[in-house]
């Protein structure tokens, strides 16, 4: 009987907090994963680093639209029909392409829906990719390096004389 009570107490004292901690660290409270695992191990270090392809070669809309845009698989295949075709990751890429199946790249940077942001304005205003994204060409896996919080946006807007009234970013 005593032993049973001891076990119950142990479960309450140790088991419950342990379970709570486990849940705390495993529930997706923050869905902004700073460096998500991507479906294909694409590397900026190879393409933007070693090969020095311009960012706009792939992110084609960045100068003219709100979204920078992620390249289509046909752009990848323009090289990978003949480059590194024996590698596992390229076989994966090719089978996605041949099945006409899109690759769902995980988003790295994501503002809340209620924020208005546009790449075009910033690129035209002379802000560099690296100011907001860090040195992507040197990242094995792209991760977020700035908070993307309001204070961060505002600090730069004040510095550079860009608008700071609420409706600039809250439409």
CA pair distance 21, 47, nearest whole angstrom: 41
Taking CB under 6 A as the criterion, the residue among 9, 30, 48, 74 binding ligand HEC is 48
Q: Using a CB cutoff of 8 Å and minimum separation of 24, what contacts does 154-160 make?
A: 156/127, 156/131, 160/125
CB within 8 Å of 125: residues ≥ 6 apart: 160, 162
Nearer to ligand HEC, 14 or 79 (CB): 79
User: Is residue 79 a contact point for ligand HEC (CB under 6 A)?
Assistant: yes
Nearer to ligand HEC, 10 or 145 (CB): 145
User: Is residue 145 a contact point for ligand HEC (CB under 6 A)?
Assistant: no
Residues 1-30 close enough to bind ligand HEC by CB under 6 A: none
User: Is residue 85 a contact point for ligand HEC (CB under 6 A)?
Assistant: no
User: Is residue 97 a contact point for ligand HEC (CB under 6 A)?
Assistant: no
Q: Whose CA is closest to 47, among 143, 145, 144, 139?
A: 139
Going 78 to 82 to 84 to 87, the CA torsion angle's sign is positive
User: Is residue 101 a contact point for ligand HEC (CB under 6 A)?
Assistant: no
Taking CB under 6 A as the criterion, the residue among 60, 94, 105, 145 binding ligand HEC is 105
For the purposes of burial, counting CB atoms within 10 Å of the CB of 118, is it exposed (0-12), middle (13-18) or buried (19 or more)? Answer: exposed
User: Is residue 112 a contact point for ligand HEC (CB under 6 A)?
Assistant: yes
User: Is residue 116 a contact point for ligand HEC (CB under 6 A)?
Assistant: yes
């Amino acid at each position: 009987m005593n032993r049973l009570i001891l076990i119950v107490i142990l479960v309450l004292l140790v088991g419950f907090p342990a379970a709570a901690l486990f849940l705390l660290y495993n529930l997706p409270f923050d869905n902004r994963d700073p460096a998500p695992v991507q479906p294909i191990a694409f590397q900026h270090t190879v393409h933007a680093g070693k090969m020095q392809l311009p960012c706009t070669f792939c992110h084609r809309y960045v100068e003219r639209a709100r979204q920078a845009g992620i390249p289509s698989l046909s752009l990848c295949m323009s090289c990978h029909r003949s480059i590194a075709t024996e590698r596992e990751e390229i076989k994966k890429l090719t089978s996605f392409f041949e099945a006409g199946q899109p690759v769902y790249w995980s988003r790295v940077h994501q503002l809340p829906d209620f924020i208005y942001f546009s790449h075009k304005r910033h690129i035209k205003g002379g802000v560099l990719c690296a100011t907001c994204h860090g040195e992507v060409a040197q990242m094995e896996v792209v991760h977020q390096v700035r908070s993307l919080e309001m204070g961060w946006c505002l600090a730069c807007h004040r510095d550079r004389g860009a608008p700071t009234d609420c409706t600039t970013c809250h439409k």
